[in-house]
Structure 1
């Protein structure tokens, strides 16, 4: 079952990227790309997009795994579905995927007429938020519990626009040594802000399911809203 309502042309002419798009009332103050976790454009991601639209933003949640299989959704609270989602991430071409993010940015700006664009990504999407900051001209990016960022610090010199990272210190997918490398590599970067969330685990800001921590999610989201209001509009 697909939950997307729009198709966005890929840059390579290789097809169209399915996306869940929500338009605000009136003229958008800017656009927010909501970058999914490994579980698809599921109810939680759609809820996040709806939330940005309610704040006056043009919201777009692209289907990251569309080249493998469009329209998939997995439940992170079911171990067998969690493992299937990991399999999709392992097969995902992140370099090609960031080109798809570029395609979404261009579409938002040129076709929808919204000049300023931010991105908010979760889990795998947190890594993509970092990549977008380093490889695209997006106006601002936010990553929640991004995985693998410590392996991409060689790209930090290319980050020219503001990047905010939310890091739970007990993240089972980002061990302490990876967090240490991120801080050592990025704390002095003029465009990067890192917030630590003591004792919290991966997925603490998920909209739905057992991983959510309401207090920490609210704090992180407040910081994200303020950050994007400053840099996107």
Structure 2
């Protein structure tokens, strides 16, 4: 059994936030930062972290919305979505990068460190690939990837997107396919297809994407 706990991370600007940390049973293959959706480090994100720890990674999921509302965690209903969007507008991407960087720094003792993010976290995983000292990044339906397509990744990136996702046009994906170290996969699925708490959950696509993501992390991190 893996073991987990809530810890405090201190960013470079002195701000402290909470984070969910999970260790594998055996010595870690490397470090992995899991970046949340707009719904906080909720049950789904913690299960994602637990699953990658079971696969051998030392995982930290920073609660990047703590800067605006400590302990924020909601479900996938309309109220949760509304509250999440409001918080997203209060917490800048620059501040979130500082929080993610603090998680990366803590995991450096494990050797190589990867990033995996979902929705908002997917956008931040893309940005981290060009800004932070990580070794690889996995992007799940990051809606801002087109807006930040000029941020050339400095490390290998793997992306997973739904062809039925109206939030992310295929033209946005075409903008980042030009980078030789960016590998993108698409699925007959909608936004959020990986999350079993969403109505858009698509188990076959989720399983295939996770298999690909794990293989990528094995190759790039260990």
TM-score (norm 2): 0.94
2:138 to 126, 142, 159: 142
1:164 to 158, 162, 167: 158
1:194 to 160, 184, 189: 184
2:181 aligned with 1:181: no
Secondary structure (helix, strand or coil) at the match of 2:217 reads: helix
Question: C-alpha displacement at 1:64, in angstroms?
Answer: 1.2
Alignment of 1:42-81 (within 5 A): 42-76=42-76, 78-81=77-80
The answer for the alignment partner of 1:105 in structure 2 is 104
Question: C-alpha displacement at 1:4, in angstroms?
Answer: 6.3
Provide structure 2 residue ranges, at least 5 long, that are not aligned to the other structure.
Answer: none
* Greater strand content: 2
The answer for the alignment partner of 2:208 in structure 1 is 219
The answer for the alignment partner of 2:30 in structure 1 is 30
CA distance in 2 between counterparts of 1:225 and 1:86 reads 29
CA distance in 1 between counterparts of 2:172 and 2:24 reads 39
Question: C-alpha displacement at 1:50, in angstroms?
Answer: 0.6
Secondary structure (helix, strand or coil) at the match of 1:48 reads: helix
Given that residues 146 and 176 in structure 2 are in contact (C-alpha distance below 8 angstroms), is that contact kept between their aligned partners in structure 1? no
Structure 1 residue runs of 4 or more that deviate by more than 6 Å after TM superposition: none
Question: C-alpha displacement at 1:43, in angstroms?
Answer: 0.6
Question: C-alpha displacement at 1:153, in angstroms?
Answer: 1.6
CA distance in 1 between counterparts of 2:46 and 2:91 reads 21
Provide structure 1 residue ranges, at least 5 long, that are not aligned to the other structure.
Answer: none
CA distance in 2 between counterparts of 1:52 and 1:135 reads 23
CA distance in 2 between counterparts of 1:231 and 1:126 reads 18
CA distance in 1 between counterparts of 2:5 and 2:73 reads 11
Question: C-alpha displacement at 1:21, in angstroms?
Answer: 0.3
CA distance in 1 between counterparts of 2:25 and 2:65 reads 30
TM-score (norm 1): 0.90
Question: C-alpha displacement at 1:25, in angstroms?
Answer: 1.2
**Aligned residue pairs, count:** 219
